[in-house]
Structure formats: C-alpha cells, structure tokens
Amino acid sequence: MSSFQIDIKDFSNGQIDSTNPQDPSWEGTGIFDIIIKAANENIKIQHKTSRITGAEYAEVYLGTMQSAISEAMKFILNKKTIEKGLEAQDVSIAISEVQLAENTEKWALQRKVLENQLAMSNIDVAYKEPNVLRDLEIRDKQIESATADIAFNESKKLIMEQTRKDNIRSKAAEQFGEFIKYLSAANVVPGANDFINMRALINAMNDGIANPDVAATITTSGPDYVKPPTDTPVKP
C-alpha cells in the first residue's frame, strides 16, 4: 500500500489581510485559501444583495467553511494520489525501458548467434555438397566396377566351362586316337564306326568353339573293328 506525506502549506498558508480594516480578507496560496476566499467573496455578495440575512450568515459561513476544508483536503489527497500514480508510472516506464534495453541487447545477441549458426550451416553445406557428390561419384564407379567384375566373372566362368568341355572332348579324341593306334599295332583294322566316332569327336570340338554345349554322337552299334585274314598257314 502506497503512502505519502502532505505538506500543510499545500492545504493552507493563508492569513488575514487587514490592509483595508473596513474590509479585511483572507489571503493565501493553499488550496483551502483559494476555495475559502472565493466562497467568502461570494457570501459577501449574497449578503450585500440581501439574499442572505444576518441570521443566516453564520450558518451559511459555517457550512461553507466545512465544505471548503473537505473539498480542499479531497483535492490535495487526489493530487497526491495522482502524483504517486505518475511516479509509479514513471518508475514502471523506467523499468520497462531498462528491460527493453536488456531484451534488445539479448535479442541482438541471439540474432548474432543465429546468424553465426546460419553462416556455419552454409559453410557446412558448401563443404559437404562436393563431398556428397564425390561420394556419389565414387559409389557409381564402385557399382560400375562391381558390375564389370560380375560380367568378367560370368565370362570367365563361361570360358572355363567351355575350356573344360573342350578339354574333355580333346582328351576323348586323344584317347580314341591312342586306341586306334593300339588297334593298328595289334594288326587289327578299325571298323567303320571307329572312324565315324573319331570324326564326330573332331566335329564336336570344332563346333564347340561357337557352342560349348555341342556333344559328339558316338555310334556303338555294329562291329568296332575287324581282324584281317592272315596268309600264315595253320600247322596240322
């Protein structure tokens, strides 16, 4: 609860002015002085014009005095209340100005921090962007390399399979040739099927260059070889 002091001089600092003994007056600069002087002058006028008689004069003057005191005190109290309110408002404004200055400084600092963060983010993005592009390029090359490796391995696997089949056919033809050679050494004439099978193996080897899945058709029916007649006479 706010409190304040009242200077009595604000209420009244007046005194009787007897400069004119026939018509003394009350003079002062207090609120009561101003009100009572105006009231006194008004009462004098009313008395001179016989609107107030002598019997009523004391009663009217007493009522006027009481009203002047009451209104003067109300005026002073209201004035002091208003002054205190203005002082409180000034203090509040001063506090608000200080807070505003502090907040302005804080906002400026926060803005500076945000600007620095934004600048760092821009630098980070500018730094990361080429790295990301480079990483993507490296990954693309890795994918291309992996794809090439897969294709190479598939091709290598196919070539190895072709080579294996060619080796099988070549080995078969080689062994078959050795078999024919052994037949000749044994004085045995190879049969027609033997030569047909030999040609089938050779053709399969040649055709296998384009199609590794080509298989030789071996003929097994009929006699494989014949033994020629001999001119040596048989002993009895």
Mean pLDDT in order along the chain per 10 residues (236 residues): 71 86 85 88 84 81 88 87 85 89 89 90 80 84 88 84 76 74 71 74 71 67 58 50
**Rounded Cα gap, residues 168 and 201, in angstroms:** 10
Using N-to-C axis directions, what is the helix angle for 54-185 and 192-207, rounded to 10°? 150
Predicted confidence at residue 70, as pLDDT, reads 92
Enter the pTM of the model.
Answer: 0.37
Predicted confidence at residue 197, as pLDDT, reads 76
Residue whose tokens read 């007897």? 18
Q: Are residues 60 and 43 in contact, defined by beta-carbon separation less than 8 angstroms?
A: yes
Predicted confidence at residue 144, as pLDDT, reads 87
CB-count exposure of residue 59 (10 Å: 0-12, 13-18, 19+): exposed
**Rounded Cα gap, residues 234 and 211, in angstroms:** 54
Predicted confidence at residue 157, as pLDDT, reads 84
**Rounded Cα gap, residues 30 and 73, in angstroms:** 11
**Rounded Cα gap, residues 37 and 15, in angstroms:** 11
Predicted confidence at residue 234, as pLDDT, reads 46
